Homo-oligomer: A and B are copies of this chain.
Amino acid sequence: MQLRNDFPILKQQIRGRPLTYLDNASTTQKPQCVIDAIADYYASENANVHRGIHRLSGAATKRYESARSRLGSFLGANSGYGIVFTRSATEGINLVAHSLGRALLRSGDEVLVTQLEHHSNIVPWQLLCEAAGAKLRVVPINESGELIMGEFDRLLNERTRIVAVAHVSNALGTINPVSEICRKACRQNAATLVDGAQSAAHTAIRLADMGADFFVCSGHKMYGPTGVGVLCGRSEMFERMTPYQSGSDMVHSVTFEKTTFAPPPHKFEAGTPHIAGAFGLCAAVDYLDGIGMEAVERHERELLAYGTQSLAAIPGLRIIGNAKQKAGILSFVMDGAHPHDIAQLLDNEGIAIRSGHLCAQPTMAFFGVPALARVSFGLYNTISEIDALVGALQKVRKTFI
């Protein structure tokens, strides 16, 4: 596959074997163009943004703002949306929970999440509800790992003020019906946040069609740098929200008596932002669009189909999560072998997968497992890597039986 050459890390050997990286839901590898965008900025354009008259600073400011609009176009946001750069998906959720949640939620109100959420889309709402005397309600899932939409309909009511849901479950790969959820929530006047950490780099996002009020994602899961994420939100919501972190860059004027704040998105970006991160992420989405998100999605769907079939054929292996709509994530358990030991033995073969509770303990609890082994695909993975995985899993079986 030609595009594997774009990723320097894939040329590397792990103990004499090529790296088979199947932990893309945790973080993705970086193409050379992303690494170069970061290095070039530091080597020839480095300056702070929003602050200086000099040419480096002017250029950095301009490029930072155009990275902002580029991310908006990548996510299919129309002019009704604004883009805030965050550290991560986690920070985006915290920002909304703080700046919208504290103003919106009253005692007795409800926030609706699902049994499929990542901790980062649970705990901020939990703490918010505690602080506001509101109630956190949970849409349950079925044995396949799909949301029970009848229960969603029942739980959504006039007290529901916020609905927060993953686009794709990081633990099971389930693709949730987020358009339907946003449409129904909107009818009840509830704000919607879609956690796109696991979708943004794997399918074309059309935020305007999806209809979410907020969408968050993480650069490092999109072939981009660490320390940068995106919160895309409806401008009218941003206008109404209180600031989050405070300090320079988010103020209009400061006196000890009274401080006024800048309009969004700046209102939500206090202090010097991760400038190199924004540029690297911009390079990453250019790279993705160069391949085409449809092609990326198609490729990963093929890997998923082949992987599902191959893994299901291994005796004693059970795939957890069999939703009809699934992204390129395959979680499983194996008789007699703990997920950690599976991951460890695969690592010795140069195969990197994830194991553990996957930051989704409530999902683990539902399936009654303490941990899962998880394989997650990226655009550079291949059918022969899946064959190597299957061979290694056969060996794991023998070790622990």
Give the complex CA separation of A59 and B29 in angstroms: 15
Specify which chain B residues have a CB less than 8 angstroms from the CB of A362 in the assembled complex. Answer: 254-256
B54 touches A353 (CB 8 A): yes
Say yes or no for A30: interface residue by CB 8 A criterion. yes
When the two chains form their complex, are residues A352 and B51 in contact, meaning their CB atoms are under 8 A apart?
no
- The reply on A248 being an interface residue by CB < 8 A is yes
Asked whether A126 lies within 8 Å of B38 as measured between CB atoms, the reply is no
Contact stretch, chosen from A87-95, A151-159, A296-304, A312-320 = A87-95
Knowing A30-B42, A34-B42 are in contact, say whether A272-B93 is a contact too (CB < 8 A). Answer: no
A 34-58 binary contact with B (CB < 8 Å = 1; else 0): 1100110011111110011111110
Report the nearest B residue to A22, measured CB to CB: B54
| Docked-complex contact B248 and A57, CB < 8 angstroms | no
Using known A-B contacts A30-B46, A256-B122, determine if residue A354 contacts B51 with beta carbons closer than 8 Å: yes
Decide if A53 touches B355 in the complex (CB within 8 Å).
yes
Bound: A162/B386 CA distance, A: 57
> Is A265 among interface residues, defined by CB-CB distance under 8 A?
no
Bound complex: CA of A320 vs CA of B69, how far in Å?
A: 39
| Cα(A248)–Cα(B94), bound, Å | 12
Range, interface on chain A? 35 or more
Write the A383-397 contact mask toward B (1 if CB under 8 angstroms, else 0). 000000000000000
A27 contacts which of B30, B48, B126, B225 (Cβ < 8 Å)? B48
- Main SS of chain A's interface residues? mixed
The answer to whether A340 and B53 touch across the interface, beta carbons within 8 angstroms, is: yes
Bound-complex Cα distance A248 to B124 (A): 10
Measured between alpha carbons, how far is A243 from B218 in the docked complex, in Å?
Answer: 21
Smallest Cβ-Cβ distance to A220: which chain B residue: B272
Contact present for A251 and B123 (CB under 8 Å): yes
B246 close to A57 (CB less than 8 A): no
Binary CB contact string for chain A from 172 to 214 against chain B (1 if under 8 A, 0 otherwise): 0000000000000000000000000000000000000000000
Contact yes or no, B26 A35, CB < 8 A? no
Contacting residues of chain A (5-48) with chain B, CB-CB under 8 angstroms: 8-9, 12, 14, 19, 21, 23, 26-27, 29-30, 32, 34-35, 38-39, 42-48
> Given A226-B277, A227-B227, A255-B362, list of 8 further CB < 8 A pairs?
A8-B44, A9-B43, A53-B356, A87-B271, A90-B270, A220-B272, A226-B276, A227-B274
The 4 A-B pairs at the shortest CB distance, nearest first, are namely: A90-B271, A227-B274, A120-B247, A54-B352
